[in-house]
Structure 1
Amino acid sequence: MTVHPFIEAEKQGGHNVKRACELLKVSRTAFYARRTAVPSPRAARDAELTEKITEVHTRSRGSYGAPRVHAALHKDGEQCGRRRVARLMRQAGLEGRHRRRRQRTTIPDPQAAIRPDLVVRNFQPDPTARDVRWCGDITYIPTEEGWLYLATVIDIASRRVVGWATADHLRTELVADALRAACKTRRPDGPVIFHSDRGCQLRFNQSLQHP
């Protein structure tokens, strides 16, 4: 391990370089020669590339990783390897943004009975038919503690969310809670068609009837 950085720090602190070199058994001539040495061609090229890499990374708003930065440099006529770009990005503390892994919320159940499509794929709003056709879906929200699942119930007549529920799981209770919330909020006078994907979460074994 070289002791030149330590001697340099001593010099910056106002200490005697000669004494430091004597204690560390280092030649003062070698120390000063190292301080004034001209960077090697490779080091100079790395510095030049790092500047261009930083420029490309900034233009991408910090989203580009090494492969895309390398492609952008190649398009601009820069001849350099991807590994070199990756190394220089690591040294400069630059990294791209990675897309989160997509979370599946609708899991088809092969054992679920096939139900008729009572809305006949008609999802057009109809202000005169409130609380007649509802549809539901589940989405997911990434948090620091993991995935948060959101189940919603939408009145097709107005495309308004009439009920919702959140949970840290994808069990049937999540959808049931959203439907209970919708029934409590709207209290429909007659029967309501609830349309959703054929996921395993929608296999109800409980009544959701409300007065």
Structure 2
Amino acid sequence: MGATQIPLAERREMVEKNHPRLSLVQQCILLNICRSGIYYASKGRASADELAVKAEIDRTYTKMPFYGVERMTEHLRKKGFTISPKRVRRYFRDMCISAIYPKPNTTWHNKEHKIYPYLLRGLTIDRVNQVWSTDITYIPMNGGYMYLCAIIDWHSRFVLAWGISNTQR
């Protein structure tokens, strides 16, 4: 039985860090595993407290998307969570959310750029495959979030394709 037929987890357990004759490099070559896998320590899953805070942020943000870090921190403290703005900012970043507020006046366009018309205005959608659209949404899970992307036909409301990922990239 070759080393590659043994499951990876078992091969990693076979490595002896203080072997008298074989170095870690030699053991990894013999077992056909990467050295980085020997040193890697998993962060583990998110704690129950972190998931509870993120769930509350999610519920509050859905109702009040204009809450920024400071307001959300104040809201969470009123709900009984002991949390700092720094941690709330990190959770916002992890969840890919930000407060909705008036941004700087960036609506002025360059006169040299072509302005493309909105082609669906006044269009009657009366057949399949006439108009498609896409949407990305996130789904709260026990260990974090999953992101769902779907392509939908407007007339039939049929999902033409979809994909799911644990990152937005």
- Which TM-score tier does this pair reach, normalised by the shorter chain? 0.3 to 0.5
Relative CO higher for 1 or 2, CA cutoff 8 Å, sep ≥ 6? 1
Q: Please report the TM-score for the alignment, with normalisation by the length of structure 2.
A: 0.39
Q: Please report the TM-score for the alignment, with normalisation by the length of structure 1.
A: 0.32
Higher radius of gyration, 1 or 2: 1
